[in-house]
Homo-oligomer: A and B are copies of this chain.
């Protein structure tokens, strides 16, 4: 099947290809009757402009690259939805790249991204360090980073301040005399855990103490659950902080099995709230993180960065807020 081109349309409508181009791009200077003629030819032939050729001629692709570690979690999906919805409104396409360990190094991905001449790139990545982002800076393509507070000439970021989140929350506990607060490690989200750690450290430091209850999951344990079953046999705290729902549920289950009453004996909060927290029994308290908005806002900022004129229409760093939902695992 022959791909029909702008030439075919031009011939069909007995005009030059320049005129067809003008019609496609909604140029005002075309006379109404020729516009109709061209429009008809387009319909008749079922012509679809070749975005690749347009990209070449215009030196832009109207495409944004999105890089994520893996598309595994529910909230990653939500971020993607946010990004895509806004991208659509502004007629951008999205290409998706993932930094699966073993299968593709970040440098390879950057390579492909540069080659594909996208207009911008949005990065959501726990592991991507500043060096790698700096590499991207060299190609002077606009970048929006989701999750980490970072900014530069053509780098913006959209994030939630987990450090302050947990600082504020834990401080209330500390001040109420519940000073024994523990944080469960999450190997899959090291960057987030680090932020939480910093927040808790500040709480203790404020009172001249040191935060010590960082519960690491030893490598030999297949899951947090396996280890926690051991851990809680000999440990108990006033408040347990986890990052993901599945870890909170692991705490819930082990506690029940060991006869630790939640929230009476021990309280539990899951930073990253999810529908599963509400389905657990007792229902797990958590913070509603605006995952969809993280995506949507990022893309909106990207579109602004891409508009020459709007150079000052956006902030380099955008902090998104969260809402605490008290459920049954906290008093």
Contact = CB atoms under 8 A, between A and B. Distances in A.
A159 B321 CA distance: 41
A251 B311 CA distance: 53
Interface residues on A, range: 35 or more
B95 A51 contact: no
Interface string A45-62: 000111111011001010
B116 A52 contact: yes
A85 B71 contact: no
Contacts of A63: 95
Interface in A232-258: 246, 249-250, 253, 256
Interface stretch (A73-81, A163-171, A189-197): A73-81
A319 interface: no
Contacts of A281: 253, 256, 281
Copies of this chain in the oligomer: 2
A1 interface: yes
A87 to B, nearest CB: 9
A156 interface: no
Contacts of A80: 71, 96, 98
B77 A1 contact: no
B71 A84 contact: yes
A111 B93 CA distance: 12
A140 interface: yes
A188 to B, nearest CB: 13
A84 B98 contact: yes
A71 B97 CA distance: 15
A275 B256 contact: no
A56 B84 CA distance: 26
Nearest to A89: B103
5 contacts: A51-B112, A53-B56, A71-B77, A72-B77, A74-B77
